[in-house]
Amino acid sequence: MKTSVKTAASVLPYLWAAIFIVFVWQMVVVFTQAHVALLPPPLLAAKTFAELVVNGQLFVHAGASLGRVVSAWLLSAAIAIPLGLAMGRWRRFEHLVDPVIELFRPISPLAWIPLAILWFGIGETGKIFIIFIATFFPILLNTVSGVKGVDPVLIRAGQVLGCDNDRALFRKVILPAAMPTIVVGLRISFGTGWAAIIAAELVAAQVGLGYLIADGMEVLRSDLVLVGMVAIGILGVLIDAVFRTVNDRFSWGT
Amino acid sequence: MPDNTTQNRGTKGISISELAVTFQSEDSEPVEALRPTSLEFEAGEFIALVGPSGCGKSTLLNVLAGFIKPSAGQALVGGETITKPDIDHGMVFQDYALFPWLNVIDNVAFGLERQGMGLAERHAKARDYLDMVGLKDFADKRVTELSGGMKQRVAIARVFATDPSIILMDEPFGALDALTRRFLQHQLLEIWQRNRKTVVFVTHSVQEAVYLASRVIVMTARPGRVKLDQKIDLPHPRDFSGEEFRRLEKLIYDQLDEELAKSFKLEGGGGTFHD
């Protein structure tokens, strides 16, 4: 009961936002008399949305995009977290690796798209590669700062309470202490990955929400484009909500 | 009182001989934190270390904990040289150092787990020690829900639960308000009387030192060395306003004032201490 009230309260602002957006959209259509191929009215877009839901196409596209992001994101986490732990713990190692990271970091994942296509073609590998780059740095940097931010007194407490080797100290103190920051990195990186997958699919894909948008443009079906965009927005918000729940679990109320 | 809290492995003496610590930093001159110091603490003694800020009392404690390596001399616990932190040398920190991702009981059970105790057994033992500090009903709370005084009681339960040979306390009540502080001093004494561990207790408060300790050591201003080594034979519970209590307090204050005056002069402050 209490939780359902709470959920309703947190959904309400989004509902208002949606109503506002639809209203503005409708006004633009009414006042500019836009051609239906350029800007369809909300009702038409809603119809197309419903069609794609009924025939299952929307789920196929969304599923393909999500699948790519999740697998690349997991791959990123599997590499970035251990690397970040090591960088955060050993200064010398950090000094060695950090310049490399700093040189790569400013390069947008989108700048890698041409190379990804040249190297991997337009198959799955190329897209996973792009998302890997997009998700890697937020996880890495948060893990490093999480480990560095561990209160030294907690490490000392761990040592006098029987963590007499580096491994035990890592497992029992450093990792749990750094966890909230790492989870934040995972959340941010999923967002950057989700933004990048659309771009990767715009260029080269046969399926996915980005493809839906690109294809809609080519056949002059802006309702398809808008449906793709709406789906991206809704899924983005939902995924972030899931992460926020996970976040709360890991942030011991401090 | 459950008997889990009373069966213990006993305690050990501490032997400090010609122990000195000099901090060497890359870009400045070496800082002599502790002059060669020799001290013998008998098993079961309650030692209070007092002195001006930066007098090396915390440095000495950190050597005993194994966090800092001495530049010269050595410190022995029960005849063995201290080389690294050890669960047998327990420590209570000023800012509690509880693990916020664990609830109260798992904080107390942390060391027991490291000692290889199974879940049921260590929770039972942790519960006994929480009972000892009067926090049995808080076992399943998050540590972030506790007040400062409660946190320090959890930390005290945590250190006694692992049954160490010596217990080091670094200004454990320094961050607490006066009333909480009094209550915890009293509770600590009760626990210490039941488990006679060697306790080395660093404090800024002379009153606290005389109230708790069986021996008070006054350190000089930096670089630190022993200025006064005073036995306190008063029976517990001690009366703050008793004649002998106040005489000892004054004796220690007089020694400290000399050192404080010196350390203010060292800092280049104008004027004299008694102004």
pLDDT of amino acid A13: 86
Residues in A lying within 8 Å of B, measured between beta carbons: 151, 153-154, 156-157, 159-164, 168, 172-173, 176-177, 179, 250, 252-254
B99 within a domain of the structure (yes/no): no
Q: What is the residue range of B64's domain?
A: 3-88+164-266
Q: Dump pLDDT digits (tens) for B127-157.
A: 999 998 889 999 999 999 999 999 999 999 9
Lowest mean pLDDT segment, chosen from A170-184, B21-35, B133-147, B239-253: B21-35
pLDDT of amino acid B56: 83
Confidence of residue B273 (pLDDT cuts 50, 70, 90): very low
Nearest to B114 among A151, A156, A163 (CB): A163
pLDDT of amino acid B267: 63
Residues in B lying within 8 Å of A, measured between beta carbons: 65-67, 84-87, 89-91, 93, 95, 97-102, 110-111, 114-115, 142-145, 158, 162
**Per-domain residue ranges of chain A:** 1-33, 41-250
Per-residue tokens: B211: 């109230």
Confidence of residue B13 (pLDDT cuts 50, 70, 90): very high
**Closest approach of B65 to chain A, Cα-based (Å):** 8
Nearest to A162 among B87, B100, B143 (CB): B87
Q: What are φ and ψ of residue A190, in 5° steps?
A: -65, -35
pLDDT of amino acid B211: 95
Mean pLDDT of B167-185: 91
B152 within a domain of the structure (yes/no): no
Q: What are φ and ψ of residue B109, in 5° steps?
A: -85, -5
Closest residue, chain B, to A150 (C-alpha): B99
Q: Dump pLDDT digits (tens) for A146-176.
A: 999 999 999 999 999 999 888 899 999 999 9
pLDDT of amino acid B1: 42
- Alpha-carbon distance of B116 to B233, in angstroms, equals 40
- Considering the domain A41-250 in this protein, what is its CATH number? 1.10.3720.10
Mean pLDDT of A62-77: 94
**Closest approach of B31 to chain A, Cα-based (Å):** 22
Lowest mean pLDDT segment, chosen from A2-6, A83-87, A125-129, B222-226: A2-6
Residue B55: closest CA among B264, B220, B248, B254: B220
pLDDT of amino acid B8: 59
Nearest to B90 among A160, A250, A252 (CB): A160
**Closest approach of B254 to chain A, Cα-based (Å):** 34
Residue A101: closest CA among A110, A88, A113: A88
Closest residue, chain B, to A151 (C-alpha): B97
Chain A environment of B145 (Cβ under 8 Å): 253
B78 within a domain of the structure (yes/no): yes
Mean pLDDT of A27-46: 88
CATH of the domain at B21: 3.40.50.300
CA R_g for chain B: 19
Beta bridge partners of B231: B215
Per-residue tokens: B223: 């670089």
* Total structural domains within chain B: 1
Reported ipTM: 0.88
pLDDT of amino acid B275: 37
Q: What are φ and ψ of residue B38, in 5° steps?
A: -125, 130
**Count of CB atoms within 10 A of residue B243's CB?**
8
% residues pLDDT > 70 (chain A): 96
Helix (H) and strand (E) counts in chain A: 11, 0
Chain A environment of B100 (Cβ under 8 Å): 177, 252, 254
**Closest approach of A172 to chain B, Cα-based (Å):** 9
Position B103, amino acid: N
Interface touch A159/B162, C-beta < 8 Å: no
Confidence of residue A3 (pLDDT cuts 50, 70, 90): low
- Alpha-carbon distance of B185 to A114, in angstroms, equals 70
pLDDT of amino acid B260: 83
B126 within a domain of the structure (yes/no): no
pLDDT of amino acid A178: 93
pLDDT of amino acid B268: 59
Chain B environment of A251 (Cβ under 8 Å): none
Mean pLDDT of A83-107: 91
Q: Dump pLDDT digits (tens) for B194-238.
A: 888 999 999 989 999 999 999 999 998 878 889 899 999 999 889
pTM, full prediction: 0.81
- Alpha-carbon distance of B78 to B44, in angstroms, equals 12
> Could you tell me where the beta strands, DSSP code E, fall in chain B?
14-23, 31-41, 46-50, 72-77, 80-81, 89-92, 166-170, 198-202, 215-219, 226-231
Cα B114 off chain centre by:
22
- Chain B interface disruption, residue of A91, A161, A175, most B CBs within 10 A: A161
**Count of CB atoms within 10 A of residue B197's CB?**
23
Chain A environment of B97 (Cβ under 8 Å): 151, 153-154, 156-157
In contact, A25 and A42? CB cutoff 8 Å: yes
pLDDT at B270 over 60: no
